[in-house]
């Protein structure tokens, strides 16, 4: 019998001074049995960094043709495609052909190696942004994971603070590649 996803509920209060975006989102996040708390919390952070009314979670790890998060316009055109982790270069190129803007949020111990293997090939893609998160920050985010979370996210000048009842984490995404468009 296959294991089922664990459902997490998060009330995410976002104050993004960089984009003048202030909103509270009620998120239901399904954590796949093979997914860690760290990856799930990076997905929530990705949502906070690019939040909008139209941003939604993809089907998850099992769906190869969908991103972690995406935003579509009313016609179904993909405006924003966000992947978390270390996708293959071929998959990134495919996503860049399907979406107006693509963001990869790399994290974990393998992030530096993944970037060194792919940066030359990815530098030529004009609609791609690549961010890297420090392992210490993502592990601290994982410690905030709870089945019912209330998270406050403050973003100012590229610095992000995530606060919960159990603590606070400062995250400063490192921009490895910034989209030209």
CA 129 and chain centroid, separation: 12
Q: What is the pTM of this model?
A: 0.94
First-to-last CA distance in the chain? 47
User: In this structure, is residue 152 part of a structural domain?
Assistant: yes
Tens digit of each residue's pLDDT, the chain (181 residues): 567 889 999 999 999 999 999 999 999 999 988 899 999 999 999 999 999 999 999 886 666 778 999 999 999 999 999 999 999 999 999 999 999 999 999 999 999 999 999 999 999 999 999 999 999 999 999 999 999 999 999 999 999 999 999 999 999 999 999 998 6
Q: What is the DSSP letter of 138?
A: H
- Which tokens belong to 85? 């982790």
- For 114, the domain range is 6-169
User: In this structure, is residue 10 part of a structural domain?
Assistant: yes
User: In this structure, is residue 1 part of a structural domain?
Assistant: no
CA atoms within 13 A on the CB side of 58: 20
Domain CATH for 120 = 3.10.640.10
Give the Cα separation of 135 and 17 in Å (integer).
Answer: 25
Q: Give how many domains the chain has, as a whole number.
A: 1
User: In this structure, is residue 24 part of a structural domain?
Assistant: yes
């Amino acid at each position: 019998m296959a294991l089922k996803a664990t459902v997490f509920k998060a009330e995410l209060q976002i104050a993004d001074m960089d984009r003048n975006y202030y909103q509270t989102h009620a998120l239901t996040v399904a954590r796949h049995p093979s997914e860690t708390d760290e990856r799930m919390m990076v997905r929530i952070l990705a949502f906070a960094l690019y939040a909008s009314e139209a941003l939604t979670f993809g089907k998850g790890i099992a769906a190869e043709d969908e991103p972690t998060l995406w935003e579509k316009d009313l016609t179904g055109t993909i405006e924003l495609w966000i992947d978390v982790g270390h996708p293959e270069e071929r998959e990134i190129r495919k996503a860049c052909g399907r979406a107006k803007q693509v963001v990869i949020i790399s994290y974990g111990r393998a992030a530096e190696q993944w970037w060194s293997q792919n940066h030359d090939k990815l530098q030529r893609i004009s609609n791609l942004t690549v961010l890297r998160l420090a392992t210490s920050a993502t592990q601290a985010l994982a410690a905030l994971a709870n089945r019912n979370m209330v998270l406050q996210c403050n973003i100012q000048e590229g610095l992000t603070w995530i606060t919960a009842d159990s603590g606070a984490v400062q995250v400063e995404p490192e921009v490895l590649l910034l989209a030209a468009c």
